[in-house]
Amino acid sequence: MSAPGNAESPPTTVIQSAGADVPFGSRTAGERPARSSQLPGRLVLADGSVFEGISLGSSMSVTGEAVFTTGLTGYQEVLTDPSYHSQVLVMTAAHVGNTGINAEDAESRSPQPSAFIIGGTTLAPSNWRSIEALDAYLERHNVVGLAAVDTRRLTRHIRDHGAQMAAVGTATVEELLALARSAPSMAGTELVSRVTTAEAYDWKEGSPESSALEHIYWYRRARLPTERFRVVAFDFGIKRHILRRLVDFGCDVHVVPAHTPASAVRALDPGGIFLSNGPGDPAATTVPTATVKELLGFRPIFGICLGHQLLARALELPTYKLKFGHRGLNQPVRDETTGRIEITAQNHGFAVNHEALPSGVVRTHTHLNDGTCEGLECPELSAFSVQYHPEAAAGPHDSTYLFERFIERMIAFKR
């Protein structure tokens, strides 16, 4: 996986505005007033590397694991994806914020990273759906942002030296370095309890019918029986678009907190069980893993991202931390059951060790960049999972068929 640009590229020193490049904070006709205080800020990695920028949003100091994502679009979905909870998220896209923030694309109620690091941005977003500028959105949610950063150099540094803890803010380099070095590692950290829902609820909203792509989903759905299936979805940090996709394919979705016991799920008598994405180390997410293990064979199970890792651990497969993870919209994966190559949306820093698969468990998908395990299936227990995001919000829709595969598993199970 390569980062865009060259290590020697100069840092971004301006923030782009409508019609021209202007120093951050200046105003052109039609723009809203700039914030009254625009402070220099910086990101300091635990290894001592310093990256200068200009503060956006909150000016407090925060820590988190510095990671990068290569997606060129969908920054609002990325910002609100709970899988990024407590991370310092670096966007490799050269310009972020030009379409503003809208009311439809949020995947959760608020931004999830502890800090959002970008290169160029704008003070005057332009899009027919935009209701708020990116910097105002970050400020309203008290999220630390940093713009005008040399994200090319930062991305290459993370790629070469690995994801590591960082501190971001307007404090001194010495203060931020101390914070970064004292911050707990992502390895061994359980974060699901911070992002899961407090109470169970039913989700009934499908994808917007105005979307041209919905014709594809409804066509695929027309080939399946009209019977609806009640699905229990474990919320380990679930995205709204995942829930919409389940509804699109004819599921009545009941979302439950991450630590819901297996007995409560059995009492709901669902047609299938969905294991969502989420943040943190799967090895530290022990209670949900034990629940998944107890539910194996009860009903068909479909897991994605963290759900894939928890299913693997329930099947006695270990997980391990990747050097810098897979995050972006362009990850190539081969479906070993069909030979088909998919371009997928991914966001994870851990992977499943597939070197010694238990009896009855097969690897179904492989990452073509590094050969890591991207999918598993245990046919005897009617359980399967993938490491990526088939709902792809944002991203390519190559993997939507997996929701159809889930429906087929539930139909076969009933027989």
Q: pLDDT of 133-190, one tens digit each?
A: 999 999 999 999 999 999 999 999 999 999 999 999 999 999 999 999 999 999 999 9
- Domain 15-182 maps to which CATH number in 3.40.309.10, 2.60.120.260, 3.40.50.1100, 3.50.30.20? 3.50.30.20
Q: What confidence score (pLDDT) does residue 362 get?
A: 96
Q: What confidence score (pLDDT) does residue 223 get?
A: 64
**Residue closest to 246 by CA, chosen among 267, 256, 231, 266:** 231
Instruction: Check pLDDT > 70 for residue 13.
Output: no
Length of the chain as a residue count: 415
Domain with CATH 3.50.30.20 in the chain: 15-182
Instruction: Give the architecture (CATH level 2) of 192-414.
Output: 3-Layer(aba) Sandwich (3.40)
Residues 6+ apart with CB under 8 A from 140: 132
The 10s digit of each residue's pLDDT in 125-139 is: 999 999 999 999 999
Q: What confidence score (pLDDT) does residue 224 get?
A: 64
The residues annotated as belonging to the active site are: 305, 389, 391
Apex 371 CA angle, 366 and 372, nearest 5: 75
Q: What confidence score (pLDDT) does residue 35 get?
A: 46
> With contact defined as beta carbons under 8 Å apart, do 302 and 295 qualify?
no
Q: In whole angstroms, what is the distance from residue 327 CA to residue 410 CA? A: 30
Instruction: Check pLDDT > 50 for residue 399.
Output: yes
Q: What confidence score (pLDDT) does residue 32 get?
A: 37
Instruction: Check pLDDT > 70 for residue 34.
Output: no
Domain with CATH 3.40.50.880 in the chain: 192-414
